[in-house]
Structure 1
Amino acid sequence: MSDNVCLQLPVSVVNRATTSTDRSEYLLNLLENILPPSDTKSVNEELKKTFTFNKYRTKHVRRKPKKVTFLTARKRSELGLNKLDNRINLKYVDALALNQLWLEYMRQMLGVNNFTDLPQGPVEPNWDNIGQQLLKADFHGAKIVVIRSKCPSLVGIHGIVLQDTKCTFRVIGEDSIIRTIPKDTAVFKICLGNVNLQLFGRELCVRPAERSVKKFKSARVPDL
């Protein structure tokens, strides 16, 4: 029995071996025999169609992980980037350049070359629009002075804003000391060169990113 394993197959057996062509012809003959005559006309066309799930496989594209190009909130907190205190040795003169950038930003935002061109009262045109733009502005770099407050010790504090949060201003004074001023209890004077404007801090108790898209009501007169 073991001697016959390596023997060549007889010709009669080899001739009966099926190939892919034989299978196709067999399938075609089978379908023509079992299908009604009305359906056999389209058999050849149907067999020529290719089906994606049968003959082709989609190439698996390996996606490369996106590189993080910014610091997450947790990373910023761990690095202490959101913290401002007097240990960072920041001087008032260092913040003057930030104030100049802020003044240029305000000129572009208000659409004026000189702040003296701003309307002087509610009867002048564009008054409401300027008021809306001021409330939406970002105050990082602004020179501010507390002119009224429920807390008397806050009155007179002035400096350049280093951090504008939802409820506070962090300012650096001329003595290079960083102080925190709550917004909702104070009225601020905003220095635009030779022009001074008053803003109620209660109207600014919104995060700067949210405040820039918020619509403020101009009819209501806020109370300290």
Structure 2
Amino acid sequence: MSSKQQPVTQALLARAHSPDTANRLFTDKIQHRTLHLRPSSPPPTNDRDARRRARQKALEQRKKALKPKPLSARQRRKLGLYDVPKEGQKYAIYEPLHSLWLGYIREILGNEIYTGGTGAAAKLASADFHGAEVEVVRSGCVSRVGIKGIVIKDSRFVFEIITKRNQIKTVPKEGTIFRIVVPAKDGEEKDGAAGQEGGHKNEEEQDAQAGGGGTGKFVFELLGEQFQYRPADRATKKFKTHFLKDL
């Protein structure tokens, strides 16, 4: 058989192999090989399955359209969701919140409100300070020293404080030390308050020394620069004690 009468594939094999080998390869691997025209195509479907899939897809799209998307941070700021309305900028409105916070912090501290120490410091580091009455005792900006009021917003980098003059002050945490006074119990003095010497200091706060023994007050200070976390993040964060050269 001449090369012109041979199939193209067999002619190509004859160039690389002997005639017997070329015939064997062509017969075993090419001539009787099954040719799959569409091996990866899905099986044919009927109209009923197509309609069912179309209904499911339409239902999923409808559910997705009915579910409202959460607002982005930019949209929330644009709508003023974080702004305190003018009629709400009154110190008297937040005094009940401060009373609730005092009960909350006393419950967290327990008996450590009289002794302080590392246990109290760890609890204060993870506490929420919305409603706490704070006072700026040290700051890189001298004009901020002396600001005192109730915390109405505790964000990552700032405290928003409302003063007794019904003014909202935004105080950055960086470079600022805040003092907080917690009465040991309403209308009752307790010995061994946090005014004793040896107040604990760590990277988040230091227990300040009170003016004298038997004052019945637990006084501590927050180092704002080491406190730049959101309340939700502080609740699960474990702080490590280390030396702070700024103190």
TM range, smaller chain: 0.5 to 0.7
Which of residues 174, 178, 184 is equivalent to 1:188?
A: 178
- Give the match for residue 48 of structure 1: none
Contact 1:142 1:161 in 2 (8 A): yes
The within-5 A match list for 1:102-117 is 102-108=101-107, 110=108, 112=110, 117=112
Cα drift, residue 181 of structure 1 = 1.4
The structural deviation recorded for 1:96 is 0.9
Structure 2 equivalent of residue 118 of structure 1: 113
Name the % identity.
35
Assess if the C-alpha contact under 8 Å between 1:185 and 1:201 holds in 2: yes
Counterpart contact for 2:112–2:120, Cα < 8 Å: no
Secondary structure of the 2:123 match is helix
Q: Which amino acid is the alignment partner of residue 202 of structure 1?
A: E
Partner residue in 2 for 1:155: 145
- Cα shift at 1:70: 5.9
Q: Counterpart of 1:104 in 2: which secondary structure?
A: helix
TM-score with structure 1 setting the length = 0.61
SS at match of 1:163: strand
> Partner letter of residue 95 of structure 2?
L
Q: By how many angstroms is 1:88 displaced?
A: 4.8
Deviation at 1:102, TM superposition (A): 2.2
Looking at structure 2, the residues matched to 195 and 152 of structure 1 have their Cα atoms a distance apart, in angstroms, of: 26
1:101 pairs with 2:100: yes
RMSD: 2.9
1:128–1:218 CA contact under 8 A, matched in 2: no
Matched, 1:67 2:75: no
Q: What displacement does 1:79 show?
A: 1.8
1:170 has 2:160 as partner: yes
The one-letter code sitting in structure 2 at the alignment partner of 1:94 is: I
2:246 & 2:153 partners in 1: Cα distance? 25
- Tell me the amino acid that sits aligned with residue 96 of structure 1: E
Q: Which amino acid aligns with 2:227?
A: L
Higher Cα Rg: structure 1 or 2?
1
Q: CA deviation at 1:150?
A: 2.7
In the alignment, the residues of structure 1 paired with residue 72 and residue 170 of structure 2 have an alpha-carbon distance, to the nearest angstrom, of 25
Q: Distance in 2 between matches of 1:117 and 1:130?
A: 6
Structure 2 unaligned regions, length at least 5: 1-42, 184-216
Q: Structure 2 length as normaliser, TM-score?
A: 0.56
SS of residue paired to 1:118: helix
- C-alpha change, 1:211 and 1:53, in structure 2 (3 Å) is farther
Deviation at 1:131, TM superposition (A): 1.1
Could you tell me how far apart the structure 1 residues matched to 2:228 and 2:174 are?
7
Cα distance in 1 between the residues matched to 2:227 and 2:157: 8
Is 2:128 the counterpart of 1:138? Answer: yes
Answer with 159-168 or 186-195: which moved more.
186-195
Is the 2:98–2:131 contact (alpha carbons within 8 Å) kept by the matching residues of 1?
yes
Q: In structure 2, what is the Cα distance between the partners aligned to 1:155 and 1:211?
A: 25
Say whether the 8 Å CA contact 1:200–1:222 is kept in structure 2. Answer: no
1:128-185 Cα deviation digits (max 9, x unpaired):
2321221222211111011222322222110001111222111000111111212122
Deviations 1:1-57 (A, max 9, x none): xxxxxxxxxxxxxxxxxxxxxxxxxxxxxxxxxxxxxxxxxxxxxxxxxxx987884
Work out the CA distance in 1 between the residues paired with 2:245 and 2:104: 26
2:241 corresponds to: 218
**Please, which runs of 5 or more residues in structure 1 have no aligned partner?**
1-51, 122-126
